[in-house]
Amino acid sequence: MTKLNMHIVIRHYQPSDREAVETVFREAIEEHINPAFMYAMTRPLHITISLFIYVSAYILSTYSLVLSLMCGGSWIGLVYFCCHEFYAGYVRSRLNTDMKDISAYYLENPDNCFWVAEAEIEGRPQVLGMVAVEGKKGSEKYGELYRMIVSSACRRTGLGVKLAQTAEDFCRERGFSKIMLSTSSTQKAAVALYFKLGFKLLRVHTQTESMQWMIWMTRATILTMEKKI
């Protein structure tokens, strides 16, 4: 069965989906680690810092190429560590909060929901994507989009659009006025999809659960987006 003729069903999450959902979630989020690292290391500021460290270490060590490489390598390793923790830490956090008990968090509240996208591959059902909505109340009632994930086995098939539409339909049924979401600037495919779906950029910031120095090292920002419905 190929990507083009998969019959994908979008349905409510079931407790039996837990292991598959966690696997797809972890793989989809952590695949951004290497691209984020490459992005950070090619920013002008980090290129300048890298050159400064290599040259300074070389001069201060009385022209020791080995020590220069060690100092530069330590800097590069620190940047990679920060990029890794930015995404791997996010996965750990989510698996210990709302995704620790998806049924209780998302399915027992009528204003929340969690869906999975499932298809039969080689005779076995597989979870290929997911999306969740949490109802929020402020000056108006709105929905916040979470856990929007499409497996790498099912990219460019329109599944992301279908998942988003499922969430949007739910928000309309619940009488929400808008949909909000947050994503990182390094998740370029996701950002492009949200713009395509009609979301507007509200603000760019660095307020996350990660430490601010770590966010600075990754050169990533958080995009908050909104769609009126």
Q: For every residue of 96-128, which 3-state class applies, written as one string? A: CCCCCCHHHHHHCCCCCEEEEEEEEECCEEEEE
Confirm whether 71 is domain-assigned: no
**Residue 184 to residues 8, 82, 149, 181: CA-CA distances in angstroms?**
27, 14, 14, 10
Confirm whether 182 is domain-assigned: yes
Buried residues in 146-160 as b, exposed as e (16+ CB within 10 A) = bbbbbbeebeebebb
| Number of domains the chain contains | 1
Look at phi and psi of residue 11 and say left if phi exceeds 0, alpha if psi is from -120 to 50, else beta. Answer: beta
CA distance 177 to 104: 25
pLDDT computed for residue 155 by the predictor = 75
pLDDT computed for residue 139 by the predictor = 81
Residue range(s) defining the domain that contains residue 206: 3-31+95-228
CA distance 168 to 145: 9
pTM of the model: 0.86
CATH of the domain at 22: 3.40.630.30
Confirm whether 75 is domain-assigned: no
**Which amino acid, one-letter code, is at 71?**
C
Confirm whether 192 is domain-assigned: yes
Confirm whether 206 is domain-assigned: yes
pLDDT computed for residue 92 by the predictor = 95
pLDDT computed for residue 5 by the predictor = 55
The one-digit pLDDT tens for each residue of the chain (229 residues) are 344 456 889 999 999 999 999 999 999 999 999 999 999 999 999 999 999 999 999 999 888 999 999 999 999 999 999 999 999 999 999 999 999 999 999 999 999 999 999 987 777 889 999 999 999 987 889 999 999 999 887 777 889 999 999 999 999 999 999 999 999 998 998 999 999 999 999 999 988 887 889 999 999 999 999 999 8
- Determine whether 22 is exposed, middle or buried from the number of CB atoms within 10 Å of its CB (0-12, 13-18, 19+): middle
Strands 178-184 and 141-150: parallel
Confirm whether 147 is domain-assigned: yes
* Three-state DSSP class for residue 197: coil
Confirm whether 67 is domain-assigned: no
Confirm whether 81 is domain-assigned: no
